[in-house]
Amino acid sequence: MPAVKVENLEKDYGKVKALKGVSFEIKKGEIFGLIGPNGAGKSTTLKILATLLTPTGGRAEVFGYDVVKDGEEVRKLISYLPEEAGAYKNLKGIEYLQFMAKLYAKTGKSYEKMLELGVKLSGLGDRLNDKISTYSKGMTRKLLLARALMVEPKLAILDEPASGLDIINAYTIRQTIKQFAREKGITFLVSSHNMLEVEFLCDRVALINKGVIVEIGTPKELKEKYNAENLEEVFMSIVGREQKVEVFE
Ligand SMILES: Nc1ncnc2c1ncn2[C@@H]1O[C@H](COP(=O)(O)OP(=O)(O)OP(=O)(O)O)[C@@H](O)[C@H]1O
């Protein structure tokens, strides 16, 4: 059974057709990247898998559970990091992690172990004793990522995980994701418009543009197919010409 199975997914926001028949599968333990430009439909796909949006058409399953019919089961298996997420500003970082660990510890793993992992993953050290309202954007992102991973979900759905992080922190996060996939068998669905970052991180990628998947494969396969040095070049040879015409006509 695949970890994620998405079949012909469609989503309309009024007249805007955000997804026009998106299909892909993610294997258990795989780091899968959904990459594409602004407005391509990445966040919409992730929100449907996180059971926060209902699709207009098609279907999606997480470990065999339908995201619409079996939403409750799906939510037990996933951890979702939204693109624009906030934390409770009046709490200290440590209080936020304690609060979340208490919520999630009910589902199995011990509170202490979860909290210990969250503290370690956040990399915030003594600053965990400060209020979240005093954190920089990157520090808040690190706290939220720690929260998403400390629960050790079966599937982590991370929307632009490294958004707002500096090079060192972005690198650390990518290493953590890789380690969690290899050592704990956690499956990752990661969105990004940073093709180079994704190339370094992901086992396989789907390129999405205007609500349509235009390619799927390992970074190596795609680079060979398009005789490209990197995924950015792959993407430009698939959709770049079309976009340039739109800009200059
Ligand atoms: N709540 C909404 N109401 C109306 N249109 C929406 C809504 N959310 C998204 N859209 C539209 O759906 C399309 C896909 O948006 P989505 O946020 O999924 O893209 P994205 O690939 O995540 O983009 P970005 O990289 O800019 O975050 C866009 O045209 C967007 O304007």
166-219 pLDDT tens trace: 888 888 888 889 998 999 999 999 998 888 888 889 999 999 999 999 999 999
3-state helix, strand, coil in the chain (%, to 5): 45, 25, 30
Count of CB atoms situated within 10 Å of the CB of 199: 21
Statement: residue 245 has pLDDT above 60: no
Q: Measure 90 CA to ligand 1 centroid, in angstroms.
A: 30
Q: Dump pLDDT digits (tens) for 65-84.
A: 999 999 999 999 999 999 87
Ligand 1, atom 29: nearest CA belongs to which residue? 39
Using a pLDDT cut of 70, give the percent of the chain over it: 95
Q: Would the CB of 16 count as within 6 Å of ligand 1? A: yes
* Residue 93 in contact with ligand 1 by CB distance below 6 A: no
Q: Is the CB of 82 under 6 A from ligand 1?
A: no
Measured from the CB, is residue 52 less than 6 Å from ligand 1?
A: no
The upper half-sphere exposure of residue 162, i.e. CA atoms within 13 Å in the direction of its Cβ, equals: 23
**Cβ pair 76, 120 in contact under 8 A:** no
Q: How far is the CA of 163 from the centre of ligand 1 (A)?
A: 17
User: Ligand 1 centroid to 211 CA: how many Å?
Assistant: 10
Query: Which of 16, 46, 163, 192 to mutate to test ligand 1, by most ligand atoms within 8 A of the CB atom?
Result: 16
| Residue 43 alpha carbon to ligand 1 centre in Å | 7
Q: Provide the 3-class DSSP secondary structure of residue 107.
A: coil
pLDDT at residue 108, as a whole number: 62
CA gap 178, 29 in Å, rounded = 10
* Exposure string for 224-236, b = 16+ CB within 10 A, e = fewer: eebebeebbbbbb
Would you list the DSSP string of 1-40? --SEEEEEEEEEETTEEEEEEEEEEE-TT-EEEEE-STTS
Single pTM value for the model: 0.92
In this prediction, residues 114-121 reach a mean pLDDT of 94
Of 78-87, 154-163, 228-237, which range is least confident?
Answer: 78-87
Tell me which of 38, 43, 49 to substitute to probe ligand 1's pocket, judged by most ligand atoms within 8 Å of the beta carbon: 43
Structure letter (DSSP) for residue 237: I
* 5-51 residue pLDDT tens: 999 999 999 999 999 999 999 999 999 999 988 899 999 999 999 99
Q: Which atom of ligand 1 is closest in space to residue 41's alpha carbon? A: 18
Average pLDDT, the chain: 90
The pLDDT of residue 126: 96
Bridge pairing between strands 187-192 and 155-159: parallel
